[in-house]
Structure 1
Amino acid sequence: MEKIYLSEIENGTPINCDLCNDKGVILVKKGTRVTEELKKKLQKNNIIFLIGNSSPFDNLEDSMAYLDEVVVKQIQETKQVYKQTFYQLSREFETFKTSDRLDKKMVTDIAKSLVSNIATNQQVYMSIQGIRSKDIYTYLHSIDVSIFMILFGKSLSLDPMQLVNAATAGILHDIGKMKIPDHVLLKPEKLLPEEMEVMKKHTIYGYEILKNHLGYEESIARVAKEHHERMDKGGYPQGVGWENLHLFSKMTAICDIYDAITAQRVYKKPMLPHKATEYLMTVVGTHLDQELVRRFVHNIATYPLGAKVLLNTGEEGIVISINNSFPQRPVIKIINTNKIRDLLVELTIFIKEVLE
């Protein structure tokens, strides 16, 4: 899903997808060319941005033919949940920016819905990072971090209420960014040092919003403040040691970094999931805790559903299933022969390369 501000669209630009409002109603059909009249019409309806009607799962279309019907159905179900969650959060966060009001029940309901859906469609959610949209901003990042928190929490045997709280913390961890000026928050280039100091304040703002203004419990509020702290005390805002952080904060730190480095940015290309998990291991001991990183990596599909891969046998195939107990060894369907290779069974075969 792509958020496009009207002021950024040049007249005459053809829209390459249906554009919707925050309720999912199509406002501009694919192929429509932007005009001043169209901009004014939308602005009269208090619409200052448009939402492209896409999802992380749209990138799977070329691989759908290789996937099992059950998996395809799970992807379609997950796609709808993701879109609905996006529309709900985008509307709620935009309201918060102008009124400082947040529907806590709605946020909790979203967290519960994600926990429930991940329980039934886990392998699809484990693959989310490799099949997501190329565009990212606060709302999508919040959803993705929440999803990772649930997968992570399940691996740590958190109870149902803790899972909901972890998911809620993921949704709200960056809420302090709502108080950061747009010229800093939305800047497409890397921030200047003085701009970075402004951006760092989102951690303090977030804690104050969640704890003092909205009345969230400490375990959730602390995540907003602590998710940029590091093991070597080189993080911010307090520079405290890892042992002083709440478990949810440690989890969010890992999820946040992973999501950020696998996201498309104007100034950098995204890392592929298997490269991103390798990167996490390189910052163990300085930024992150080794055991928690190991648990996290073990519950992420480093080779997501639909990924095209080259095996050491010389065969090219499509990832058609994730082994939940060992996601680094997925099930592959060979493109030319339709032969199935389960890498958890065929231990001498391994993925040599991901083909983009």
Structure 2
Amino acid sequence: MSSPKAKVLLVGMGGVGSVAAYSLEYGGKAEVTAVLRSDYQTLIDDGFEFESVDHGKVNCFRPTNITKSVEEAMEKYGPFDYAIFSLKNIPDISPIEPLIAKCYTPEVGILLLQNGIGIEKPIFKLFPEAYVMSGVTMVSSTLYGRKVVHVATEHVRVGAYDNGKIPYEKQVAKCKKFIEIYSTDKNDIIYDENVNFSRWRKLVYNACVNSSAALTDCDIGRLEVFGAMDPIVRPAMREILAIAKSDGVDLPEDVIEFMIRSDDGEWYPPSMLVDMRKGNYCEYQVILGNALDIAKENGVPAPVLSCMYHLLHVVQMKTQEKKGKFVLPEVRPLPADNFQIKYLN
């Protein structure tokens, strides 16, 4: 008799979340309940189409359950064995802690399939004994309408964030059980013994290539062809290596060229660039802001990253204005006016 399928909540079915949902259902060991907002009706009516390097052409995919909110998911299908958060991590706009609170149980494994460094800290502040797992993915997938374009094999490193409250071996066991559920003959899901190393390593790409692409509206290929690598991207990457070292993580120098060459053969638009082109918010705070906080604390200079961060902050504010979060006065205020933006909602 086969074992019952694991009940997995998945919040956020963009490019990364869609591939994760498909892999979990494809493996046959999980029943996925997806939470969507803007794409809910599309997924209900038409399903998602895949053009995938791992799975080929898929005309119509729907996870087992589709809901509009975490509350609905919990009421109809909870509690869950695992909860995956693969939505954009934008704490300055919509922090994920309230969503986690709505599905939290003492036994649920929370997988943060998201970008950034230090993203576990707000969760442990709320739930000190939570099973929180890091998911570092290199998947190169993007959602366009209802079509998922997936151009690089799904590689995910899953590891436990040690909460210091529950025996670490129990946290690792929870993590390895999820890897067993997630793994298929099409993907590469491995246990991550050093979560901090993996997150800093990915930040070499995200903080530098992703941010540069977003600020210039250029994919990684155009960044290289148009001459951004030597004056901007590589110096920013060296700053990440220095900050990581101050945080106890010694990244090899060759990670710089590995990340620059990681999308060779593709005019690949990184996630932050896709967000910009869609008029969405970007993850600059968890990708750049948290790293710069560590740099400041440890006395590491990071002028290139700091410039990127402040420029992206301006872009984020511009996006908020476009979305009607606030209205600026007709007459431009001057510094002496002590003007402060007042949010409408």
The verdict on a shared fold, with TM-score over 0.5 as the criterion, is: no
Q: Give the structure-2-normalised TM-score.
A: 0.31
The answer to which structure has the higher helix fraction is: 1
